[in-house]
Amino acid sequence: MLKNLMLAAAVFAAVSCSTVPITGRSQLNLVSDQEMNAMAAQEYQKVLQSSRLSADAAQTAMVRRVGQRIQQAVEQYFRQNNASAQLEGYQWEFNLIQEDQQNAWCMPGGKVAVYTGILPVTQDEAGLAVVMGHEVAHAVAKHSNERMSQQMATQGLGGVLSTAVGQNPSATQNVFLQAVGVGSQLGLLKYGRNQESEADHLGLIFMAMAGYNPDAAVAFWQRMAAQEQGGNIEFLSTHPSSSTRIADIQRDLPEARKYYTAR
């Protein structure tokens, strides 16, 4: 009996784990990509319907231009590593929301939103590529899936999202919003340090592959640190602009520069 239980546990661990691209970290993943992407598409539309999109054509075009270049870099990276299947079901969208908060995020499936309040800090396309590369990295590293899995396990919602929605739709929606860090649950559940470090690392590589100088990341996070010191930072309040983070980025820059070719 004990032997059977141990075997079942081993099988569960094997089927419920995935590996983060580039870093190779193992992560808990109880929720399918198809379920996460479908729920993200629904919630993304709700956000767009309840928000005011920017009427600034130039800024909107810039967000979409940078986003599409990051998208192409991600797709290129996964294709070169024979992992394109991990992006199956992605339907990329890039929108600029008219709101003063310094914020941006990417839901599973490539659903990206940037808020106008962060544009004065990004300053230019390279700075915006730092932000969008970082947020897209959270999505392709399946950090939301990982957090959703952890929360569902903790709250006893089971490992099948559709079943959890049927049993307790309100609780499941709240867990999802916490996992992706948007909507009414903004900032209630913070990314872990491992996830933040991975997003920084992957984001540098994606922006470099997209033709943006990864060195711009240091200047951007220094500007964010200055905002933090002034008590005026809203970038989810979960992205610490610390000296440690900047030092980590500087450590990763030599690797990222190998992917960079100016356009």
Q: Could you tell me if residue 141 is inside a domain? A: yes
Which residues are catalytic, by number?
135
Q: Could you tell me if residue 2 is inside a domain? A: no
Q: Could you tell me if residue 138 is inside a domain? A: yes
The percent helix, strand, coil of the chain (3-state, each to 5) is 60, 10, 30
Domain tally, the chain: 1
Q: Could you tell me if residue 11 is inside a domain? A: no
Q: Could you tell me if residue 119 is inside a domain? A: yes
| Domain, as residue range, for 61 | 18-259
Number of Cβ atoms within 10 Å of the Cβ of 201: 22
The residue count of the chain comes to: 263
Residue 124 CA to residue 1 CA, distance in Å, equals 62
C-beta of residue 252 within 8 angstroms of C-beta of residue 200: yes
Specify the pTM: 0.80
Q: Could you tell me if residue 188 is inside a domain? A: yes
Q: Could you tell me if residue 12 is inside a domain? A: no
pLDDT tens, N- to C-terminus, the chain (263 residues): 434 333 333 333 334 556 766 666 666 676 778 888 988 899 899 999 999 999 999 999 999 999 999 999 999 999 999 999 999 999 999 999 999 988 899 999 999 999 999 999 999 999 999 999 999 999 999 887 877 776 666 655 555 444 444 444 565 566 666 656 554 333 334 556 778 888 999 999 999 999 999 999 999 999 988 877 655 444 444 555 467 889 999 999 999 999 999 88
In terms of Cβ atoms closer than 10 Å to its own Cβ (0-12, 13-18, 19+), residue 249 is buried
Q: Could you tell me if residue 221 is inside a domain? A: yes
